[in-house]
């Protein structure tokens, strides 16, 4: 536990030691705002809720989260510092968790900085703040899911660009089964149970229930399992190919 | 303290380390010598627990690196090849991070930090990102990190690479100073370093041990061991050479550029007396006379190239 904390602190400080953190946060906030106001028609809808804000998060994360996760291990491999880290008296799982939690916390910071939009909607109307909190939670969990996938993929390569591209592709595949047009292809001939099962594989399905303000236990368990699975895979990848 | 048992590492068809067994005890400073690609770094990585052996095992202070890696790594201070660091950190924050992971707290932590900072002269650069430091400073930050927790076992992969001669001297002095109660393995290309710090040297090539001895004993394998070099005046070197060749303890005469003669003994015998006797009899005027202990370079070259030739034949 102590080691996880040490690695977590080192990693989180490292984000802010370089311009990476600031660039990421600024771009995240700009894109989130642009999507909400231009594509989501925030004002024109005339409703005091944040669904035009949250509905774009899966697509925003699809490209921005891999930009954070790509460096997690690939950079350590490239610079050789992985040799230093993995010869310190820590378990691989501690390194995986410490790094992952720092990256997730960083995503959380970026997400928290979107609070002006919450202030805006409260100023303009009388939204259901409980539902907004649930949606924020869902968004954070989804970011965590993307991040766990990206962390594992980053551990397989020393090239950050490769890590980024593969992560985007894998994350897209995981969004895919929840999209209406994909489900439409199945619903014409497959039984409803099969369509539901396919939909339940997707981040999209589980995020949309949370983003509507429903604290859906199944969705939370789903994200928990996804994160757990990919972090376990990350640890195994690391153990198998520490050096090369 | 360090034991390896039939340590082997294969990358596909390439055998990087081949069935290496040796042990190093407390107080020993083992120098790892070998040409590039001989398997030195791979062996050290396996002992440090970074590379998993294909076969065999490494143990440090009784802890197997595969079954009990954390306990083994606690005992080890390791400087990886090229001394990689977290470039965006400052030496101070980096060393503090390592101290935290090593479980040092409070006054213990500040004492250890102050000690390594002083020993490796890092005070001037403590607040500068490591990326911006010179090669010599980076190497010293890596060394500081390795000795920070006063480990019982030190594994240093080319600790003086990139240092200037003064810094090299200091690092060697440091290694000698702390070596009495530790077990140290260093790898190096610089043979004089073996002389300066090592109590034992292992020469490896193609992943195999070719020689394992004290530096002095290795030098004794040189054909120039106990050779006598002399400079004469008043007699043409060729005449002297033919006279010296007449001695039955002499194997060969090598002639230098400025008229020096190097008399190579048969079977490494001590021939100074015989050579002196001859000079006295002939009434030569001797300007210089010196007994050589042998060149580690020669031994290194002989051993490693002989190994390569054997390899080529099989």
**ipTM of predicted assembly, 2 dp:** 0.89
Question: Shortest Cα distance from A114 to chain B (angstroms)?
Answer: 28
DSSP 8-class letter at A13: H
CB contact under 8 A, A10 and B78: no
Total residues found in chain A within this entry: 244
Measured CA to CA, the distance from residue A219 to residue B198 in angstroms comes to: 62
CB contact under 8 A, B101 and A87: no
Give chain A positions within 8 Å (CB) of B82: 80
Query: In the predicted model, what is the mean pLDDT of residues B112-127?
Result: 93
CB contact under 8 A, B98 and A17: no
Measured CA to CA, the distance from residue A57 to residue A173 in angstroms comes to: 16
CB contact under 8 A, B84 and A84: yes
Question: Shortest Cα distance from A12 to chain B (angstroms)?
Answer: 12
Q: Which of residues 30-49 of B touch A (CB under 8 A)?
A: 45, 48-49
* HSE, side-chain direction, 13 A CA sphere, residue B311: 13
DSSP 8-class letter at A46: -
Considering only CB atoms, A83 lies closest to which of B74, B84, B129, namely B84
Measured CA to CA, the distance from residue A102 to residue B312 in angstroms comes to: 52
- The residue in chain A having the minimum alpha-carbon distance to the alpha carbon of residue B72 is A89
Per-residue pLDDT for A162 more than 90?
A: yes
Question: Shortest Cα distance from A92 to chain B (angstroms)?
Answer: 10
Query: In the predicted model, what is the mean pLDDT of residues B82-98?
Result: 93
Best of B50, B81, B105 to mutate (most A CBs within 10 Å, chain A): B50
**What's the pLDDT tens digit per position in A35-70?**
888 887 777 777 777 888 898 899 999 999 999 999
Measured CA to CA, the distance from residue B178 to residue B192 in angstroms comes to: 19
Residues in contact with B162: Cβ distance below 8 Å, sequence separation at least 6, in sequence order:
B135, B136, B138, B139
Asked if A84 reaches chain B (Cβ–Cβ under 8 Å), the answer is yes
CB contact under 8 A, A18 and B86: no
Best of B83, B99, B100 to mutate (most A CBs within 10 Å, chain A): B100
Q: How many domains does chain A have?
A: 1
- The percent of residues in chain A predicted with pLDDT above 90, rounded, is 61
Domain with A206 in it: 2-240
Q: pTM for this one?
A: 0.88
**What's the pLDDT tens digit per position in B229-273?**
888 877 787 788 888 888 888 888 888 777 788 888 887 788 888
Query: What are phi and psi for residue B68, nearest 5 degrees?
Result: -140, 60
User: What local confidence, expressed as pLDDT, does residue A30 receive?
Assistant: 94
Query: In the predicted model, what is the mean pLDDT of residues B207-224?
Result: 85
Asked if A109 reaches chain B (Cβ–Cβ under 8 Å), the answer is no
Give chain B positions within 8 Å (CB) of A3: 101
CB contact under 8 A, A10 and B89: yes
Confidence bin at B309 (pLDDT 50/70/90)? low
Asked if B73 reaches chain A (Cβ–Cβ under 8 Å), the answer is yes
**What's the pLDDT tens digit per position in B189-203?**
888 888 889 999 999
**What's the pLDDT tens digit per position in B130-183?**
999 998 899 999 999 999 999 999 999 999 888 888 889 989 999 999 998 899
Taking only Cα atoms into account, the Rg of chain B, rounded to an integer number of angstroms, comes to: 24
Domains of chain B: 2-220 (3.40.50.300), 228-292 (3.30.70.100)
């Amino acid at each position: 536990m102590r080691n996880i904390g040490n690695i977590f602190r080192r990693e989180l400080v490292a984000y802010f030691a370089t311009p990476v953190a600031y660039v990421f946060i600024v771009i995240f906030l700009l894109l989130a705002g642009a999507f909400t106001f231009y594509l989501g028609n925030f004002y024109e809808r005339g409703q005091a809720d944040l669904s035009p804000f949250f509905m774009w998060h899966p697509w925003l994360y699809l490209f921005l989260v891999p930009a954070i996760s790509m460096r997690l291990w690939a950079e350590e491999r490239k610079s050789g510092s992985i040799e230093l880290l993995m010869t310190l008296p820590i378990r691989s799982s501690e390194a995986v968790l410490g790094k992952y939690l720092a990256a997730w916390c960083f995503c959380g910071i970026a997400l928290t900085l979107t609070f002006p939009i919450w202030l805006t909607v409260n100023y303009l109307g009388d939204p259901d703040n409980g539902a907004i909190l649930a949606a924020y939670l869902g968004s954070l969990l989804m970011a965590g899911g993307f991040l766990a996938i990206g962390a594992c993929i980053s551990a397989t390569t020393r090239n950050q660009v490769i890590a980024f591209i593969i992560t985007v592709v894998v994350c897209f595949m995981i969004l895919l089964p929840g999209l209406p047009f994909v489900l439409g292809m199945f619903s014409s001939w497959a039984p409803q149970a099969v369509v539901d099962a396919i939909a339940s594989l997707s981040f999209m399905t589980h995020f949309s229930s949370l983003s509507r303000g429903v604290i859906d236990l199944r969705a939370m368990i789903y994200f928990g399992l996804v994160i757990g699975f990919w972090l376990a895979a990350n640890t195994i990848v690391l153990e198998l190919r520490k050096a090369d | 303290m360090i034991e390896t048992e039939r340590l082997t590492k294969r990358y596909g068809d390439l055998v990087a380390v081949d069935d290496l067994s040796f042990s190093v005890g407390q107080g020993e400073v083992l120098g790892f010598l070998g040409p590039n690609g001989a398997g030195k770094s791979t062996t050290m990585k396996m002992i440090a627990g970074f590379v998993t052996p294909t076969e065999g095992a490494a143990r440090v202070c009784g802890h197997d690196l595969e079954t009990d890696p954390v306990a083994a790594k606690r005992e080890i201070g390791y400087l990886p090849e090229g001394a990689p660091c977290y470039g965006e950190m400052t030496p101070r924050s980096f060393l503090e991070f390592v101290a935290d992971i090593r479980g040092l707290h409070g006054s213990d932590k500040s004492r250890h930090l102050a000690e390594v900072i002083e020993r490796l002269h890092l005070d001037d650069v403590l607040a500068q990102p490591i990326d911006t430091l010179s090669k010599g400073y980076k190497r010293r930050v890596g060394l500081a990190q390795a000795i920070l927790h006063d480990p019982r076992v030190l594994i240093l992969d080319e600790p003086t690479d990139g240092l200037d001669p003064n810094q090299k001297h200091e690092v060697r002095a440091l290694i000698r100073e702390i070596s009495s109660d530790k077990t140290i393995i260093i790898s190096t290309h610089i043979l004089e370093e073996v002389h300066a710090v090592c109590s034992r040297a292992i020469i490896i090539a193609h992943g195999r041990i070719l020689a394992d001895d004290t530096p002095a004993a290795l030098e004794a394998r040189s054909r120039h061991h106990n050779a006598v070099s002399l400079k004469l005046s008043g007699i043409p070197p060729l005449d002297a050479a033919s006279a010296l060749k007449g001695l039955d303890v002499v194997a060969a005469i090598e002639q230098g550029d400025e008229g020096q003669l190097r008399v190579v003994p048969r079977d490494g015998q001590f021939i100074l007396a015989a050579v002196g006797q001859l000079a006295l009899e002939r009434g030569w005027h001797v300007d210089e006379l010196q007994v050589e202990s042998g060149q580690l370079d020669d031994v290194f070259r002989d051993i490693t190239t002989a190994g390569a030739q054997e390899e080529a034949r099989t």
